[in-house]
Chains A and B, each alone.
Chain A
Amino acid sequence: MVVPSLKLQDLIEEIRGARTQAQEREVIQKECAHIRASFRDGDPMLRHRQLAKLLYVHMLGYPAHFGQMECLKLIASSRFTDKRVGYLGAMLLLDERHDAHLLITNSIKNDLSQGIQPVQGLALCTLSTMGSAEMCRDLATEVEKLLLQPSPYVRKKAILTAVHMIRKVPELSNIFLPPCAKLLHERHHGILLGTITLITELCERSPEALRHFRKVIPQLAQILQTLVTTGYSTEHSISGVSDPFLQVQILRLLRILGRNHEESSETMNDLLAQVATNTDTSRNAGNAVLFETVLTIMDIRSAAGLRVLAVNILGRFLHNSDRNIRYVALMSLLRLVQSDHSAVQRHRPTVVECLQENDASLSRRALELSLALVNGSNVQAMMQELQAFLKSCPPDLRADCASGILLAAERFAPTKRWHIDTILHVLITAGSHVRDDAVANLTQLTGGQELHAYSVHRLYNALAEDISQQPLVQVAAWCIGEYGDLLLEGNFKETEPLQVEEEEVLALLEKVLQSHMSLPATRGYALTALMKLSTRLCGDNNRIRQVVSIYRSCLDMELQQRAVEYDTLFQKYNHMRAAILEKMPLVDRGGPQVDEEAKESKEAAQLSEAAPVPKESQASQLLDLLDLLDGASGNAQHPPLLDPSPGGALVHLPDLPCPPPPAPIPDLKVFEREGVRLNLSFIRPPENPPLLLIIVTATNSSENDVTHFICQAAVPKSLQLQLQAPSGNTVPARGGLPITQLFRILNPNKATLRLKLRLTYNHFGQLVQEIFEVNNLPVESWQ
């Protein structure tokens, strides 16, 4: 006995009745087996029911490929029920990837020419949903014929099928372009809508079509105008707006036709203004039309007044209670902020209010827009708002907000101090969300400002309060290392004076070093900062030496390496320590990123590698190093040259993996008195021809210390001179650690270099004062 097959609805009930996934699978597998059997030799009258069941199962995610051929059979049947399900199956199960799909081409062709409208409708629908390029080529003429059919039901479908065909086979545009003009005269909204969609597609694909269809602008305008001014029509109105779908489509086509075309755009001005002002905006339908109008106004060459109107409409949207409307307004304003900046600026307060949105996608847009609206005149007010937002914004926006604030601060900071304050505030508020590259930027920035004392003071305070936010800790550690001496001096003009003890500073850095919250990179910063302090602070360096030697056995490789190098620096190369750890010169704003840490580690690395080499070539090793850095960084920053063997010429080692530096300028001994010598070394960085660096080295071979050593210099007015802080004021006796000082001279006009020096120091219990002009300056130093 044949088991009667389940009706579709019964199967659905049964599947829904399954309590577990496994049970559902069982039911479905059983039914599919039955369906397969039925496809093979079941009642053809019930085939449509079997396929329907299969389609349901397919939607649940189960395989249904064995139904593909059944679709074909059903489509070829002469019963409408069969065709209906068969075509649906074709749309769901067949697509251009399956070879089987071509087999329905013939059926479609037959059905298109049979003249029964619902059937033609099914065929056209299927063709426009899954028709492949080959199918479209084969059936193009059939569809073309249907464009001229009397019945609007079939025509409107044929038109949209043509749209699909052109998308698949652009060459078919030639067939479907001619009928458009006539179709535009139709009154049926469906046909009009389809035609306008078709024309849009044609214009988007071909500039000739675009030119051709510009002549229908008046007609389009007429249609649109009628829609806008016509009263309520039950059939096509939504919330008092006549056929918003058609209006939007017309506006879109007008946009494409008017784009980059002055003449066409001019003809549209009045119409667009009319639509913009007459559309009822109480419901979404009206706003949809208004939105499309705004998009069109902004995209064509519209009159200035109209553009302002459009931006104001968007501004009004921002106040709308419907958050969807606010969203599209923010998106559109973001697109316009470059081209119509001043118009958008007027809505800045509203945009800033939108930062408070609960919806993250809205507040994100508001943030982007707010950042785009920051300029020189509103930067301070905006920063306040943005910083307030930074405190309360959702975590995924923090990083973008922080970066945005830092970028805006960089571009528009009114004063350097404000800039540093802003950076500090960001670091303190959202420190852990600041991006990694920001740390490098910030160290460069604080290094480039003159407000070192102020910066280091504030950073120290911030660090003392909280050592958990890594970017803040890193920048603070770097600063303390560089400008520790300023921190301890305690004279801060702009903030309350604070006495900071050496021990406190060291303790803080040690705390950072030991904290489990500190990342390895942060520890590296802290360790290096401690090292630098060994030359900045006055006390003995035992504490620092202790810490450094502890980390020689640290498990972290980077830290271990640094500690070993620094320890070596204390032990074997103590006389070089001051020079190596000297302050960085002021960094040029906007110069290439210089990773100070990498440079210092590199120097130290070179040194420890050079350990077994005899003493005389140490200077040359150092020079290697500097040349290497010269070639690698491409920046005019150099730690000062050192010349431990007095008066010795510097050897230049050639084989280095960098571009050959220019021939070095010979040193000049400019002063000697009772064992105290002053030597000048000259460097002309090749990337910066006007720049001359002079390193002044003061050595003492006498039996008495030189103390309170000060060197001042003067150059002709056409040159610029900058003196850096000396490495110290004391040169111990008997070849003790020399004082080095860096002079930066800018000589863009290649004027003759003249240099006058004034020295004062105490030696043998007497005050020595010397003023003299340096003779025999090498010409290479200024030519």
Chain B
Amino acid sequence: MQFMLLFSRQGKLRLQKWYVPLSDKEKKKITRELVQTVLARKPKMCSFLEWRDLKIVYKRYASLYFCCAIEDQDNELITLEIIHRYVELLDKYFGSVCELDIIFNFEKAYFILDEFLLGGEVQETSKKNVLKAIEQADLLQEVRYLFSSLGTSMLS
């Protein structure tokens, strides 16, 4: 995966994860164009489109568009599953997630994504494991200082 964007129906960006190095200007340009293109799609159209030399897979969940850019040899259908899994994770974490949750807790949305995908690839296919990792990390935030001499694993 090259990047993932989340945006509202008004075109407001809610999350941007880039797995390729691009300048801020380029990112903005791509975001603007892609958002426009996806928002122009009619509801009955398929979830795939070709854009520049990439394949775009997008799906709308309530008021949010989840949009991924994949490469030519990637499987579009499994990308839809990736998007769906991410939404499920958010849903489990926030409890019936809605756009507002993602707006007000955008860092959490990133942390969850980073436990599911790494470097643009799927790292963990067990929902349970991902959620457990987030839980543990959240707990760790409560600890005032980390003991650097402790080597024992806190997560299995």
Contacts and interface: CB of A to CB of B under 8 A. Distances in A.
B150 A80 contact: no
Interface residues of B, number: 64
Contacts of B22: 95
Given A84-B137, A160-B119, A193-B123, A324 B155 contact: no
A328 B16 CA distance: 27
A346 interface: no
A327 B75 CA distance: 12
B107 A88 contact: yes
B144 A121 contact: no
Interface stretch (B46-54, B60-68, B90-98): B46-54
Interface in B62-86: 73, 75-78, 80-82, 85
A543 to B, nearest CB: 54
A641 interface: no
A292 B75 CA distance: 7
Contacts of A84: 107, 111, 137, 141
Contacts, number: 182
Contact of B77 (A59, A80, A150, A328): A328
Contact of B45 (A60, A132, A238, A361): A361
Contacts of A163: 119, 121
A499 interface: no
A642 to B, nearest CB: 58
Contacts of A152: 156
In which size bucket is the chain A interface? 35 or more
Interface in B87-127: 103-104, 106-107, 110-111, 114-115, 118-119, 121-127
Contacts of A328: 48, 76-77
B46 A362 contact: yes
Name the 3 nearest CB pairs between A and B, nearest first: A288-B77, A128-B119, A115-B151
Interface of B: 12-19, 21-23, 28, 42, 44-50, 73, 75-78, 80-82, 85, 103-104, 106-107, 110-111, 114-115, 118-119, 121-129, 133, 136-137, 140-141, 143-146, 148, 150-151, 153-156
A33 B103 CA distance: 23
A42 to B, nearest CB: 19
28 contacts: A9-B104, A12-B103, A59-B14, A59-B106, A85-B107, A88-B107, A97-B23, A116-B150, A151-B155, A153-B153, A164-B119, A190-B125, A194-B121, A235-B126, A235-B129, A248-B75, A249-B122, A287-B77, A288-B81, A291-B77, A323-B46, A324-B47, A324-B76, A328-B76, A358-B45, A359-B44, A361-B45, A361-B46
Given A96-B21, A284-B77, A160 B114 contact: no
Given A84-B137, A153-B133, A194 B123 contact: yes
Contacts of B155: 117-118, 151, 153
Contacts of A121: 115, 133, 137
A500 to B, nearest CB: 49
Interface string A293-330: 00100000000000000000000000000011111100
Contacts of B122: 193, 245, 249
B29 to A, nearest CB: 12
Nearest to A81: B141
B75 A288 contact: yes
B118 A125 contact: yes
Given A151-B155, A361-B49, A125 B104 contact: no
A151 to B, nearest CB: 5
A509 B83 CA distance: 62
Contacts of A88: 107, 110-111
A124 B133 CA distance: 15
Contacts of A292: 75, 78
Given A151-B156, A157-B118, A190 B47 contact: no
Contact of B125 (A85, A189, A291): A189
B81 A238 contact: yes
Contact of B81 (A115, A118, A245, A325): A245
Interface in A218-252: 235-236, 238, 243-246, 248-249, 252
A189 B127 CA distance: 12
Contacts of A97: 21, 23
Given A193-B124, A252-B73, A358-B45, 10 more contacts: A52-B107, A84-B141, A114-B148, A128-B119, A189-B126, A190-B126, A245-B78, A324-B46, A325-B77, A359-B42
